[in-house]
Structure 1
Amino acid sequence: MLVDPQFIFRFEREPPDRAEGEVYALEGFELASRLSFFLWSSIPDDALLKAAGDGRLADTAGLEGEVERMLADPKATALVENFASQWLGLRQLDTVSPISNEFDGNLRRSFRRETELLFESILREDRGIVDLIDADYTFVDERLARHYGMPNVRGSRFRRVALRDDARRGLLGHGSLLTVTSAPNRTSPVMRGAWIMENILGTPAPNPPPDVDTDLDTRAAEAGEPASMRAQLERHREDPACAGCHNMIDPIGFALENFDLIGKWRDADGGTTINASGDLWDGTALDGPAGLRAALLERRELFVTRATEKLMAYALGRTVEHYDMPAVRAIVREAADDDHRFARLIAGVVKSPAFRTKRKAGSGQQTAAD
């Protein structure tokens, strides 16, 4: 039983009377299963099965009603935890090993929980998804508050706190993101810049050209100088083969250089005062986390589009392709008049043709959901 594909995978049975390659609407119970695994990471409950049996999922209003009910259920926490882990790379926290005496298992768990709770608050409070970038509050326990320099927080219980420091607002100030985008022994403006381009702006950085030396630590050790990460990268960009990409990536990462490899605030690196300024590829000036956040908010539609792409990929269990983008853009446009609420984007994905239909893979075959 344990090796039977029918047990291991969630199968969506294909109708035998459809031709290979034909697109067809998912039947009630198949749609109910897809919806349940999307929002709850589990099987449908009795209410959802009844709605499927009664044919209510075939109606847009009935489908929206079930989405609203399911998002209000405590089981929707699975969407927050699993989607956040997939999109933001939170699972990498389980394997990172920063070379720092201040990092331990408790901090590792607190980093992840902070980000999950921010996601959950945006869903439960019906907020716009842009608050992921600009939220003026976060969630901390004593261990995390001490790491961030926040006073008067005691105990292991997480509580919501207002942020007085603009540098910590939103995901850019989260230790989870800052740690998984660092090298084990130092910060990495390149990793941080590339992460934001990929996950926030939806403009992935190109891969480095072949035969380019990317080992900055060895080169710095051999040269003896320069000491700061910024100076090392400036030397690296002297190579024309490297400059093209790094001129786009590095300024974004430099804006976060005041956060060390585990997200703790600092004013100097290698005995040099940190310079967190720079310019985006279009000339927009950046200066520290607040300046970067302002630049991202000016491009909020790029962020919402990328978030919707990631959400759709999670819902479908496959990569979003070029032919899915009209649907993604339509979801973003329709949610714009509602402040791009997280729940509205979820409902848009569920109502999309990509979610409610399927293309038959082969005559008489069954396909497992990815």
Structure 2
Amino acid sequence: MLADPRATDALVTDFAAQWLNLRRVSEVVVDPERYPNYDLSLMQAFQRETELFVGSTIREDRSVVDLLNADYTFVNERLARQYGIPGIYGSRFRRVSLPNHDQRGGLLAQGALLATTSYPDRTSPVLRGKWLLNNIFGLPIPPPPPGVDMNLNVKPGAPPTSIRERLAEHRKNPSCNSCHSAIDPLGFALENFDVIGGWRSIDESGKPVDARGTTTSGVEINGLTGLRALLLGRPDQFPRTVTEKLLAYALGRPLEYTDRPAVRKIVRDAAAHEYRWSSLILGIVESPTFLGRRN
């Protein structure tokens, strides 16, 4: 199946686009005063990078875990300039090895994810953390309770404060703290990336970026490398998320609790094959859940 380019293309343009919000990249709005280097070609490059990257892991039948920790990506001149990769010229995309794996590598450091989980003029640990929980960790978060003030912008005339300081104030509300204690540490881990995926050490308030956080289970993480380590520390967690997303796509409906045994078996069997794409896909098409749908 994976040898058929049409199958790979469908997984990228349909499944991955849905899972990774790639269709929203063209809708991203960026404040041109704060980010004068932004242009439409950058957003187009972000989307193409992720399509080519995910497609490469499928065509080469890599482990889905490589989506998190690969040491390569695809860039053209415009994207290479944004990422600080020298020696790339022209509009053609090419595969490049990443010189600094602490700052780049895998989906978590790609502009498509970072831009679609930001506001026009600032990053959002909340949007990023919630997206990570839903789409990478496979732990959906409920919507905020009604009546909660969601405005985290600095009030006019007030001294600048970091987003971390504003979220700390927000979490003083007990009805907010339970969810934000799970969301915020993950989002903070990506604070070294600005709205358009550039690496930074100073945030929008002019203060040094603090990418540290502590999960609800007490694990301390710091930045992109800490976030990766958290995910890789439970080898089956991300493959389970990919399986859930892929099975829902194959079934054409959200998963139900009755689908959980099928997911567990697919992931358990795929472990013997290093969670390669082929093992997950084969497990899905041979599962009673999928076969029952066809019948």
TM range (shorter): over 0.9
Mapping of 1:3-42 within 5 angstroms?
Answer: none
1:280 matched to which residue of 2? Answer: 215
The structure with more radius of gyration: 1
1:104 matched to which residue of 2? Answer: 39
2:257 matched to which residue of 1? Answer: 322
In structure 2, distance between residues paired with 1:128 and 1:103: 34
1:192 matched to which residue of 2? Answer: 128
The answer to whether the 8 Å contact 1:226/1:232 transfers is no
Structure 2 gap ranges (5+) = none
Q: Please say which of residues 239-248 and 332-341 is displaced more in the overlay.
A: 239-248
Q: What does the per-residue CA deviation read over 1:313-357, in whole Å, with 9 as the maximum and x for residues that have no partner?
A: 111111111111111110000010110001110111111112222
In structure 2, distance between residues paired with 1:285 and 1:267: 20
Distance 1:157 1:329, change over 3 A: same
> Identical aligned pairs, as a percentage?
53
TM-score, normalization by structure 2: 0.94
In structure 1, distance between residues paired with 2:272 and 2:211: 35
Deviation at 1:222, TM superposition (A): 4.2
In structure 1, distance between residues paired with 2:293 and 2:67: 32
**Count of residue correspondences:** 289
2:155 counterpart SS class: helix
1:147 counterpart SS class: helix
Mapping of 1:1-370 within 5 angstroms?
Answer: 70-76=1-7, 77-99=9-31, 100-166=35-101, 167-217=103-153, 220-222=154-156, 224-269=158-203, 270-358=205-293
1:358 counterpart SS class: helix
**Which runs of at least 4 in structure 1 moved beyond 3 Å after TM superposition?**
none
Q: What does the per-residue CA deviation read over 1:165-207, in whole Å, with 9 as the maximum and x for residues that have no partner?
A: 1221111100000000111221000010011111111111222
Deviation at 1:259, TM superposition (A): 0.3
The answer to whether the 8 Å contact 2:213/2:222 transfers is yes
TM-score, normalization by structure 1: 0.76
Residue identity matched to 1:115: T
The answer to whether the 8 Å contact 2:251/2:293 transfers is no
1:43 matched to which residue of 2? Answer: none
1:138 counterpart SS class: strand
In structure 1, distance between residues paired with 2:10 and 2:142: 33
In structure 1, distance between residues paired with 2:125 and 2:95: 29
In structure 2, distance between residues paired with 1:205 and 1:163: 33
1:366 matched to which residue of 2? Answer: none
Q: What does the per-residue CA deviation read over 1:15-47, in whole Å, with 9 as the maximum and x for residues that have no partner?
A: xxxxxxxxxxxxxxxxxxxxxxxxxxxxxxxxx
Distance 1:223 1:351, change over 3 A: farther
Q: What does the per-residue CA deviation read over 1:211-238, in whole Å, with 9 as the maximum and x for residues that have no partner?
A: 1101111xx2246134221121122122
1:161 counterpart SS class: strand
1:334 counterpart SS class: helix
Distance 1:165 1:235, change over 3 A: same
In structure 1, distance between residues paired with 2:42 and 2:176: 35
2:293 counterpart SS class: strand
1:168 counterpart SS class: coil
Residue identity matched to 2:75: V
The answer to whether the 8 Å contact 1:255/1:292 transfers is yes
Structure 1 gap ranges (5+) = 1-69, 361-370
1:282 counterpart SS class: coil
